[in-house]
Chain A
């Protein structure tokens, strides 16, 4: 079985990953010291990836936060370290109001620029392989022929590219790729946006 279907992967890219920086910031402010935000995020993604269907998730952002939150609660119960802050302000996030809009599912200019810059920053051969794979759409085998190297070598370059991607756009990365303006917004910004909405 392929672990994750292409549809689910696309759903992650569009509906979930854009919210990761906000989720990470939110987690970092409330985590007990023995748990890392990335542990929680990975585990939350496992739950989302194992769901049979995500069609019933109307508000992916809210769902993501709720999932992470329930993991936190479980951890708090297990470790008996009481972290009040974890519990207090989930509601303040105003999750229900944040329904995905069409522009959130589009890669906009800034993100495409960021992607171009990210590729520009890759080391030589990795960059070459990555450009052939992503910009020109060649398969790993075709790239091996084109570059005159083994398929294993191409795979290593692609893996390296993915690693760089994770470090830049996931994990500690402050950037995000693949959608939503305001994906980098902190909670304060969310509140501000909610205010803007009520003004207009």
Chain B
């Protein structure tokens, strides 16, 4: 029996294959070599699966945002780093432009700070108290210690336990908690909603405070705001944006088009009123409305045209009765 490779050697080779596969389609020679490699030891496919899965899971790094600065996350001592970093940023900004008012940063950490995500961007904001806010596309927040104002958009708040409650305010509501993970959505044309994933929050609105617990959602309504349970599938669907995805489950095509408009500059226009009312389900890449439109056109036998930044879906020339 030949000498058995160590699992470390197998992992090293698996890393090489995963890197090669990530580069692009394999050449015919590479494919043959991979097949041989895989066949010769029963552990290799498993090691490759792990290497690829680990690498794939780092896709979540997109949530760190385009202005991610690795140096700020040097494991050393996080508290110190963030202070130094604050001064360094403040200093740089100061040198660049005093008029921008950035001087405040170096003087005091008590001033509130504003954060915004651009269209299609997901952004993670770690806070000093260990809490974190993840901004979905086109979202603006203002934060000062354990108080946050959601001005516009949608954000996930993961609140670390602290001495004082953490309060999120949106126009017409305030949400407070000692520790919880919850999403607040405040988008023009839609009622404000709160979705709690973990812990519990108290939502204080027009009708007085209401407790919203894990796997529950609160929606502001003109008559009576209601707390309702959410099933696990819905919960994960409503958080799909964290991975750059949009999930639908029976929403109309019109609603889907509106949702896509939040994430990219492409405009999705549905020309036919019946088509606009068709329900759609599935998981789609938020930044790729064209792929979405393509699969919708296939499902509904609709015609797809792309002109510049406009994607148009219309009924096929002859009304299809399939």
Contact = CB atoms under 8 A, between A and B. Distances in A.
Contact of B48 (A4, A133, A178): A4
Given A139-B24, A159-B18, A120 B74 contact: yes
B119 to A, nearest CB: 16
B235 to A, nearest CB: 5
B62 interface: yes
Nearest to B235: A102
B68 to A, nearest CB: 5
A115 interface: yes
Contacts of A43: 42-43, 46
> Chain A interface mostly helix, strand, loop or mixed?
helix
A199 to B, nearest CB: 15
Given A46-B44, A112-B124, A139-B24, A134 B59 contact: yes
Interface string B43-59: 11111111111111111
Interface in A1-60: 1-4, 6, 8-10, 12-14, 16-17, 36, 38-39, 41-50
B46 A45 contact: yes
B217 to A, nearest CB: 13
Contacts of B75: 117, 120-121
In the complex, which range does the number of interface residues on chain A fall in?
35 or more
Contact of A46 (B34, B46, B70): B46
A195 interface: no
A139 B26 CA distance: 15
B11 interface: yes
Contacts of A139: 24
B232 A115 contact: no
A103 B198 contact: yes
Interface stretch (A79-87, A89-97, A162-170, A182-190): A162-170
B158 A166 contact: no
Contact of B60 (A16, A103, A178): A178
A17 B12 contact: no
Nearest to A177: B57
A169 B51 CA distance: 10
Interface centre among A45, A47, A105, A151 (most CB of B within 10 A): A45
A165 B54 CA distance: 7
A45 B23 contact: no
A121 B74 contact: yes
A134 B132 CA distance: 21
B15 A17 contact: no
B53 A46 contact: no
A121 B6 CA distance: 26
B89 to A, nearest CB: 16
B19 to A, nearest CB: 4
A171 interface: yes
Interface residues of B, number: 69
B162 interface: no
B50 A45 contact: yes
A134 B70 CA distance: 13
B187 interface: no
A13 B126 CA distance: 24
B8 A163 contact: no
Contact of B236 (A38, A105, A156): A105
Contacts of B239: 102, 106
Contact of A106 (B45, B53, B242): B242
A47 B45 CA distance: 8
B59 to A, nearest CB: 7
A151 B19 CA distance: 11
B51 A162 contact: yes
Contacts of A156: 19
Interface centre among B8, B43, B158, B233 (most CB of A within 10 A): B43
Contacts of A103: 181, 197-198
6 contacts: A4-B52, A38-B11, A42-B10, A102-B233, A140-B22, A162-B55
Interface of A: 1-4, 6, 8-10, 12-14, 16-17, 36, 38-39, 41-50, 101-103, 105-109, 111-113, 115-117, 119-122, 127, 130-131, 133-137, 139-141, 151, 154-156, 158-163, 165-166, 169-171, 177-178
Q: Which 10 A-B pairs rank lowest in CB-CB distance, beginning with the nearest? A: A45-B46, A159-B19, A12-B53, A46-B46, A42-B43, A38-B7, A178-B57, A13-B57, A49-B49, A120-B73
Given A42-B10, A112-B61, A134-B59, 6 more contacts: A41-B7, A49-B48, A112-B132, A122-B70, A166-B50, A170-B50
